[in-house]
Structure 1
Amino acid sequence: MALTKLLDGIYAAAEDERITGIFMHGAPGETGWASSREIRKALLDFRDHGKQIYAWFRDFDERTYYFGSTANNLWAAPFGSFSYDGFAAEISYYAKLLEKIGVQVQVSRVGKYKSAVEPFLLEEMSDANREQIANLLGDLFDVCLADSAAARGIEESHLREITETVGIIKVDEAASRGLIDEVLYFDQVLEKLNLISPDGDNFAQITLSSYAATLEAPEVDDSGGVVALVYAEGEIYDGKGDDGVAGDTIARALRELRQDEDVDAVVMRVNSPGGSAAASEFILREVELLRAAGKPVVVSMGDVAASGGYWISSRADHILVQPNTITGSIGVFGMFPEISGLLDLVGVNIETVKTGKVADAMSINRPLSTTELEIIQTFIDEIYVAFIERVASGRAMSPEAVREIAQGRVWSGRDAIEIGLADGFGSIDEAAEIAARLAGLENWSMRLPTVEEPGLVDVVLSSMLEESDDEGLAQLKQTLRVLDYIPRLGSRQGIYAMLPYNLVIK
């Protein structure tokens, strides 16, 4: 279910006299932390309308409690657990494995913290990478803890004590500490809901997705303006495509909005760890042309808008984040695997005939020469300088000031505002309001993007895993999605502006 559709459903339910409450149960899924915060805001708005939220979970972790804390009545199943042990990020290192199978990875990079290549070169995490991940996790956890405590009306220390001691307690103890309200069997929960309902037994119910599907599109005022919404979600790659951020496809969408006389402003929702530097530049060019045409562009950053994701955002009129958005990572790298050792190991000999001295420079069958690596490093350095210049121009900063906060380092949304990489906190709707104001619009409506048909991977995974709470299946889903990206990234052979790791917070 698309985030905008989900949010529209909750906000509409708050105003709908037929809806008296929301009941949450089951695992909250894979929603990122910044998107989760936008959903929580909508839930709290529902509660502020004088309506009730009820939640029942078998077990709790930080993510479950993040949503559950919005409930007026928060219940747990008997014999459940309440885990609040903090955030951890796990990164695998493959240097020993690659050495054993005769594979070498040659790299060129700029940025002390640009550590995307580390897993292929080192056997353990560098100090610089450990520093930036620790700082980022600390920021994200602090936001999660503070939001949850505030919604429950408890002291932050009540949660932090669990984190700093045992990490996990029984739900009965959580109830005695006031972290949840009661421990109930599901039939007892249903009994309470029946008692609360004005209709008594068999009260009317509807899922949020079904309710959202019944909502009619808002009427468009022909005399008003239009703010168009564009999604840039996924890894950035060259060419055309229906999923991820295909450089040609997104650039064309922006170009069509520039040429559309009915469109007055654009909101670009960026949720991307980056990718191809060339594709990022292609998209940024269209952002610049939109602004030159007098159409303001406001970026709403989601869970991740880093490296290439920040590149395409850097020259927007305004950038909004959530405190737990992951952004920054202003840096560039090139990664070039070679398998001559592996070929040797398995007894394969490859002969090459060429018409130029470096005609086979990008072959994986031999290592790059020192001269070739120097040439590539020159390209990397030039792209990094261009990245710095684009950020400096877009954010009204000096190149020197940008270099101080660049070096490939990732920042939380909270820090991004402090260092000048973002303008404030806000949701997609708030981004649209700013875009309308910048365009001088009083009466306006938002044009949503056309929904693409899901790809085969999405269809299969949805049918397999949509209703599953199993952690193993959830991990399988994540792994298959990662594998689905590999062909688009040119087997990782090229120049990228990308987040330094695939961050999995546990």
Structure 2
Amino acid sequence: MGKLMKLLRWVDRLLHGIRRGLLNLITLAVLAAILFAVFHSSEGPGVPQGAVLTVAPEGHLVYSYSESDWQRAIDDLLDRPDNEVLIRSLTDAIDRAARDPRIKLMTLNLNRFDGGSITQLETVADALARFRKAGKPIYAYAGSYSQGAYLLAAEANHVYMNPLGTVMIVGYGAYQPYFKTLLDRIGVTMYAFRKGKYKSAVEPFTRTGMSPDAREENAAWLRTWWNSYATRVAAARGLEPAQIEGYASRLPQLVDAAGGNTAELARRQGLVNVIAGWQRFEKAVAKAAGQPLAQAQIDYLDYDAATRPHAAQSAAVAVVPLDGMIVGGDNAIPGAVASGPTVRQLDRLLHDAAVRAVVLQVDSPGGSVDASEDIRAAVLRLRAAGKPVVVSMGTLAASGAYMISSAAQTLYAEPTTLTADIGVFALVPNVSAALGKLGIDVGGIGTTPTVGSESPMMPLRPETASALQSHVNYLYKRFVSQVAEGRKLGFDQVDAVAQGRAWSGKDALRLKLVDHLGGIANAIADAARLAHLKPDGYRVDYLPRAGQKRGFAGLGQSMGLMTRAALGGGHGMRGLADMARLLGLPARELRDTTQLLRSARPYGYFAYAPVTWMH
């Protein structure tokens, strides 16, 4: 028996050594490949004369990458598809190409483009319009065009589509499931506490359909989005907005009248110029370029890397992304804005002498009240230190995200941004009836009358419910007061337009909830002006999401992920997500589940913009 145990221990050590050795070899191989790729790419490709800028975005538009540069480099080496298109890289490349005499024209391949919000799409469409205004033609192609993809394609001089394709423009809508009937059937009661007439985030759990107040609110911003879409597409294609409205409203009837030939319908409606396959499209582009495409093409990412200016100035304007739901906690969470890492990032800028001003690039529906308060305090510390803070709002800057934004010196929003949503809500579940249906009874004893009030297994006592509503009312009053102070408005003035209502950027400007309509470039220029920096006397430092590492620290973070997953060092949902990510499996669902589990705790107050869109 002793000999057998010695043999087993020896085999265990051998296998452990082999595993560690293989892991070290893999790590070294990946490190060598990444270093080679980084240093090789730093040389940048040459830009040929008469070049064709190839824009073929794959994935959906984002303001900031959800993964670090090193993790994306690893993904590239493992040939994983990229599903994020950084708006800044795309628009910067297009704008530089518009001024570059070596670039003759652009191809816009939208076959693998997954779209984005109306606000994100219009930012890219603006850059395409500037390229065309510079006298350089754009050739667009897709087998079929989604509504989002067509907003970009409409800016092209020549729009090609496959003979079996469709231009799918249907408008915007806000639809979501309502769970009250199901919850009633299974015996779950959701106690909802809110302050704000339009704070409708609780409705899916307390109603069977949209309330009149929520319908009024949603109808307003949906009409803003749709008017903006129809007006832009019509102007780009030389049509009237009513024609786009009619196409979307009567699409089924128009398809029937065209005998099902959706491509010919799109051509007759003036939405596409040429119905043809990819080969014919390539021939047309080569003819316009005057040379074979193999010699003339340069991908927009390669062009961006080859032509990106390297600022030598010491003074910096730092751009900080607040991208995702706001949550508490000391660790970074993919897809969310965690208060701990975000506060540390802002406080580092506070003590960085090179950083003269800060721009918050906000794209968030809000989130935890406590976390928003912590981040807001860090913004105020920056301002107290004499460093201007300017906000650039993207698609969303609502609720807790607006609470943070209101502490800044100047606020910029796009016309289609959804912002404000000044309100608070709380949801507390009660599953005692559901347990009873399963034959489970709950009983016990406590030292005070309030013991057990935090448990979802027991009904909520009236006095506890009253206390919760009082706390929600207090948080709302504090929220309104903070906005009034930050915006230099009266409490009643803010309260009148608050009430948990999300406003478009256009309306927010009218209501004095933001200062200007504009994008990130306007915000950066204004921040530099407030810091008394000359237009050519500063650099712009785009920071990664809080918690992401740069340089070799980022490599160590990515290697740590691989090591933890390979050695089984992760546990529970985190370990599963790490392993799925390492193997290229769809880890997003696991990540979202982890985030939900972290957030679903009793008395967790959250605030979101009541928005669900189809495109």
- Regarding TM over 0.5, the answer is yes
TM-superposition CA deviations, 1:20-74 (whole Å, max 9, x none):
3322221431422212111112222222222222111222343122111111111
Q: Distance in 2 between matches of 1:201 and 1:338?
A: 64
Matched, 1:298 2:390: yes
> CA RMSD of the aligned region, Å?
2.4
TM-superposition CA deviations, 1:4-28 (whole Å, max 9, x none):
2333222233233443332222143
Q: Aligned with 2:605: secondary structure?
A: strand
1:9 corresponds, among 93, 116, 124, to 93
Q: Distance in 1 between matches of 2:533 and 2:311?
A: 16
Matched, 1:449 2:539: no
Residue 379 of structure 1 is matched in structure 2 by 471
Matched, 1:49 2:139: no
Contact in 2 for aligned 1:62/1:144 (Cα 8 Å): no
Shift of 1:492: 7.1
Shift of 1:484: 5.0
Structure 2 vs 1, CA of residues 491 and 90 (structure 1 numbering), >3 Å: closer, same or farther? Answer: farther
Matched, 1:498 2:592: no
TM-superposition CA deviations, 1:246-279 (whole Å, max 9, x none):
1122122111111211111000011000110111
TM-superposition CA deviations, 1:376-405 (whole Å, max 9, x none):
111111110111111111122111111111
Contact in 1 for aligned 2:321/2:544 (Cα 8 Å): no
TM-superposition CA deviations, 1:192-223 (whole Å, max 9, x none):
1111123235343333334334454522213x
Residue 106 of structure 2 is matched in structure 1 by 22
Matched, 1:330 2:422: yes
Contact in 2 for aligned 1:486/1:492 (Cα 8 Å): no
Shift of 1:493: 4.4
1:78 corresponds, among 163, 178, 183, to 163
Q: Distance in 2 between matches of 1:176 and 1:450?
A: 46
Shift of 1:496: 1.9
Matched, 1:318 2:410: yes
Shift of 1:171: 2.5
Please tell me the residue identity of whatever aligns with 1:165.
R
Q: Distance in 1 between matches of 2:518 and 2:112?
A: 26
Residue 109 of structure 1 is matched in structure 2 by 194
- Structure 1 range deviating more: 54-63 or 5-14: 5-14
Q: Aligned with 2:600: secondary structure?
A: helix
Please tell me the residue identity of whatever aligns with 2:174.
A
Contact in 2 for aligned 1:237/1:488 (Cα 8 Å): no
Q: Distance in 2 between matches of 1:458 and 1:55?
A: 39
Please tell me the residue identity of whatever aligns with 2:595.
Y
Residue 327 of structure 2 is matched in structure 1 by 237
Shift of 1:287: 1.1
Residue 485 of structure 1 is matched in structure 2 by 595
Q: Distance in 2 between matches of 1:140 and 1:446?
A: 31
Residue 355 of structure 2 is matched in structure 1 by 263
Please tell me the residue identity of whatever aligns with 1:495.
Y
Q: Distance in 2 between matches of 1:324 and 1:10?
A: 22
Q: Distance in 1 between matches of 2:236 and 2:412?
A: 23
Q: Distance in 2 between matches of 1:384 and 1:261?
A: 37
Q: Distance in 1 between matches of 2:164 and 2:519?
A: 38
Q: Which runs of 5+ in 1 are unaligned?
A: 466-475
Q: Distance in 1 between matches of 2:582 and 2:87?
A: 19
Give the alignment of 1:56-455 within 5 angstroms. Answer: 56-166=141-251, 169=255, 170-200=262-292, 202-216=294-308, 218-222=310-314, 225-242=315-332, 243=334, 244-442=336-534, 443-450=537-544, 452=548
Q: Which runs of 5+ in 2 are unaligned?
A: 1-84, 256-261, 549-553, 562-576
Structure 2 vs 1, CA of residues 427 and 180 (structure 1 numbering), >3 Å: closer, same or farther? Answer: same
Shift of 1:327: 1.2
Contact in 2 for aligned 1:197/1:203 (Cα 8 Å): no
More helix by share: 2
TM-superposition CA deviations, 1:109-128 (whole Å, max 9, x none):
00111010101011111111
Please tell me the residue identity of whatever aligns with 1:325.
T
Structure 2 vs 1, CA of residues 353 and 256 (structure 1 numbering), >3 Å: closer, same or farther? Answer: farther
Shift of 1:463: 5.2
Contact in 2 for aligned 1:117/1:500 (Cα 8 Å): no
Contact in 1 for aligned 2:410/2:515 (Cα 8 Å): yes
Shift of 1:316: 1.1
Q: Distance in 1 between matches of 2:112 and 2:293?
A: 26
Please tell me the residue identity of whatever aligns with 1:70.
E
Q: Distance in 2 between matches of 1:458 and 1:317?
A: 43
Residue 570 of structure 2 is matched in structure 1 by none
Please tell me the residue identity of whatever aligns with 1:445.
R
Contact in 1 for aligned 2:115/2:148 (Cα 8 Å): no
Q: Distance in 2 between matches of 1:42 and 1:488?
A: 40
Q: Aligned with 1:261: secondary structure?
A: coil
Aligned residues: 492
Shift of 1:446: 0.8
Q: Distance in 1 between matches of 2:584 and 2:296?
A: 27
Q: Distance in 2 between matches of 1:201 and 1:497?
A: 51
- Structure 1 range deviating more: 42-51 or 130-139: 42-51
Structure 2 vs 1, CA of residues 13 and 493 (structure 1 numbering), >3 Å: closer, same or farther? Answer: farther
Please tell me the residue identity of whatever aligns with 2:320.
V
Contact in 2 for aligned 1:277/1:497 (Cα 8 Å): yes
Q: Percent identity?
A: 33
Structure 2 vs 1, CA of residues 136 and 481 (structure 1 numbering), >3 Å: closer, same or farther? Answer: farther
Please tell me the residue identity of whatever aligns with 1:505.
M
Contact in 2 for aligned 1:238/1:278 (Cα 8 Å): yes
Q: Distance in 2 between matches of 1:262 and 1:88?
A: 46
If asked which structure has higher relative contact order (CA below 8 Å, sep 6+), I would say 1
Shift of 1:482: 4.8
Contact in 1 for aligned 2:115/2:149 (Cα 8 Å): no
- Structure 1 range deviating more: 87-96 or 41-50: 41-50
Shift of 1:101: 1.4
Q: Aligned with 1:334: secondary structure?
A: strand
Q: Distance in 2 between matches of 1:185 and 1:498?
A: 44
TM-superposition CA deviations, 1:322-348 (whole Å, max 9, x none):
111111211000111121112112222
Q: Distance in 1 between matches of 2:277 and 2:541?
A: 45
Q: Distance in 2 between matches of 1:488 and 1:208?
A: 39
Q: Aligned with 2:138: secondary structure?
A: strand
Q: Aligned with 2:127: secondary structure?
A: helix
Q: Distance in 1 between matches of 2:593 and 2:230?
A: 33
Shift of 1:355: 3.2
Shift of 1:157: 1.9
Structure 2 vs 1, CA of residues 160 and 197 (structure 1 numbering), >3 Å: closer, same or farther? Answer: same
Shift of 1:147: 1.5
- Structure 1 range deviating more: 174-183 or 200-209: 200-209
- Structure 1 range deviating more: 454-463 or 43-52: 454-463
